[in-house]
A and B are shown apart, each in its own frame.
Chain A
Amino acid sequence: MNHTMTLTIQRVEGALIRALGLIERRGFAVTSIDASADEAAQQMELTIEVCSPGRSVDVLARQIEKLFDVRSVAHVRTSEPAVQLEESMAC
């Protein structure tokens, strides 16, 4: 399954890598990513599509939420994978 989630992270050193690294380490593959910065709020908004290895995306969301640089996480939608599972790297 593909899941789309939005993250708001603080723009501090390491925050982006920390969030993306956690997603991959927990077994999910990032299939697309869109980022925009909010200069005034010193925040970054990420829209990330992940491909699940059959693990709970809710648990992943809670794992991301625990990161200290992450302000919010929302699971937006679930969809059939656009890429066939065999073709994608990590799933």
Chain B
Amino acid sequence: MKGAQLLVKALEQEGVGVVFGYPGGAIMPVYDALLDSPIRHVLARHEQGAVLAADGFARVTGRPGVCMATSGPGATNLVTGIANAFMDSVPLVAITGQVPTPVMGTDAFQEVDIFGITMPIVKHSFLIRRAEDIPRIIGEAFHIATEGRPGPVLVDLPKDVANTMTSIPPIFEMKSSDPGRPDPEQLALACRLLGEAERPVLYAGGGVGMARAVDAFREFAEASCIPVVTTLKGIGAVPTRHKDYLGMLGMHGNLAANKAVQASDLLICVGARFDDRATGRLDGFAPGAKVIHMDADPSEISKLRFADAGLLGDLRVSLSSLPTDLSIEPWRAWCAERKAEHAWRYDAPGEGVFVPDMLRRITEADPEVTIACDVGQHQMWVAQHCHFQRPEQHLTSAGLGTMGFGIPAGIGALMAKPDGRVLTVTGDGSIMMNLQELQTIRRYDLPLKMLLVDNASLGMVRQWQELFHEERYSEVDLSDNPDFVEVARSFGIKAFRVTRRDRVDAAIERLLAAEGAILAHVCIDPKTNVWPLVPPGETNDVMLEGMSA
């Protein structure tokens, strides 16, 4: 058996059903072997589309997404997607072809040191030197991608190794590792802190979903009645309509969420990492609070904020070990008042489409829809206004903020759940970053729904220039955009335009009822802003407010 066949067999053994990729010289042996495999290969139209689709697939399933590309430019085109998965702790196995080992290091045609290039953005990486190592390395790659805090693993396979004949080595199996239990002393400390707290807040991050700790988190939140805030990735840790949910915290968070965190005396951080978009100026973040930090990653605890109690290991164990009989009624009432006081308003003046309201209504009409976002103002509106029941319904490029994520991630989500309903919310800037993937939608007849929020600008950057650069607008005008309805149609995708508020209901119905792929092109005022906003460098006490319309 050839090395390449062994690789494909190893993927099958890992239960891989679909891989996303793009062929080329150095990875041809693997593409040849794929022809004889039940694994479905999805051809993207750019390697970045392939890796981001694999990322979306992984976010929905919790299993590693798999992508492959050839050496050189194929491999470098994966880099953004690998970094995206790294920043958001998404399990991913990226397989790259490499030039044959005898010419490695000679600047051979299409040779790049992808192993070296990706070193700071992978959880681990392998360069395969011997065909007989393939099953072991693939086994380890899948294990590493998923154990503890998940992340991307790169496997670089030189062409001569892929072509080497070898006997079939024994099946390689990794024992699944136990995420571990929190240290009893730290746990006792956490219990004491909780018992003494008068104003506790649960601060949930993406780790809650990834650790499959949603049930445990909800049980604890329900029983303790502690108000909940989430990060961008933590959205859905409790249903967004939950009575004690105050919303997302941070730069574009809800005022009630930020006020509660700033006033709290105990922050219970569950699978979050004190990211600057969430904390604002760190030294003024929750200034009076003690911290209990639960995480699967030992290097997160006390990285940015000292943890008075650090609970390492399985979030589920930690959550179920904490006391829930607290007397925090006055605090809950205070938080509920803030929540009512700062509830979102949808009575924006004007005749134009008010995107926050449109987004909210889409998720009211279809509570089970999965939303894959692009990056910019529209992404923040999704986070603020859409309703979600579970974290894996909300796919967003949080840590890296990768424009171009939305459509590939939507493709990956549909490949993971062909019967699911998936909506990509994108912007007129972002859609152009992976526009070619409209053809992937067409090729595989994917019923992806797309909502393109077109403000004829790089809205988020424009907003910052307005607010923090004295309205000196620099390269944010996109009024020369193509006709997106025509563009979609030229890919064989249905499309229609919405410009008026009184047409929004009909548009939502058309979007949700459509069979097959469809794009709604929503044109809005370029001067619309996202509110509220914590200016960069300020603490979360400073929230600018305005009315977007």
Contact = CB atoms under 8 A, between A and B. Distances in A.
Nearest to A69: B124
B125 A14 contact: yes
Nearest to A60: B299
Nearest to A24: B120
Contacts of A62: 298-299, 301
Contact of A14 (B119, B144, B298, B299): B119
Contacts of A13: 115, 127, 129
B145 to A, nearest CB: 12
A77 interface: no
Nearest to A61: B299
A63 B301 CA distance: 11
Contacts of B298: 62, 65-66
A62 B302 CA distance: 11
A62 to B, nearest CB: 4
Contacts of B299: 59, 62-63, 65-66
B350 interface: no
Interface string A11-26: 0011001100110010
Interface in A33-91: 56, 58-59, 62-63, 65-68
B348 to A, nearest CB: 44
Query: 4 tightest CB-CB pairs across the interface, nearest first?
Result: A62-B299, A63-B299, A62-B298, A68-B124
A56 B120 CA distance: 20
Interface of A: 13-14, 17-18, 21-22, 25, 56, 58-59, 62-63, 65-68
A contact patch SS: helix
Given A66-B297, A68-B124, A68-B144, A14 B115 contact: yes
B116 interface: yes
Contacts of A63: 299
A56 B302 contact: yes
B303 interface: yes
Contacts of A66: 297-299
Interface residues of B, number: 15
29 contacts: A13-B115, A13-B127, A13-B129, A14-B115, A14-B116, A14-B119, A14-B125, A14-B127, A17-B116, A17-B119, A21-B119, A21-B120, A22-B120, A25-B120, A56-B302, A56-B303, A59-B299, A59-B303, A62-B298, A62-B301, A63-B299, A65-B298, A65-B299, A66-B297, A66-B298, A66-B299, A67-B124, A68-B124, A68-B144
Nearest to B129: A13
B119 A18 contact: yes
Contacts of B115: 13-14
A30 to B, nearest CB: 16
Contacts of A22: 120
Contacts of B127: 13-14
B149 to A, nearest CB: 9
A65 B300 CA distance: 13
Interface in B320-370: none
A18 to B, nearest CB: 6
A67 B144 CA distance: 11
A8 B301 CA distance: 23
Nearest to B303: A59
A64 to B, nearest CB: 9
Given A13-B115, A59-B299, 20 more contacts: A13-B127, A14-B115, A14-B119, A14-B127, A17-B119, A18-B119, A21-B119, A21-B120, A22-B120, A25-B120, A56-B302, A56-B303, A58-B302, A62-B298, A65-B298, A65-B299, A66-B299, A67-B124, A68-B124, A68-B144
A59 B299 CA distance: 6
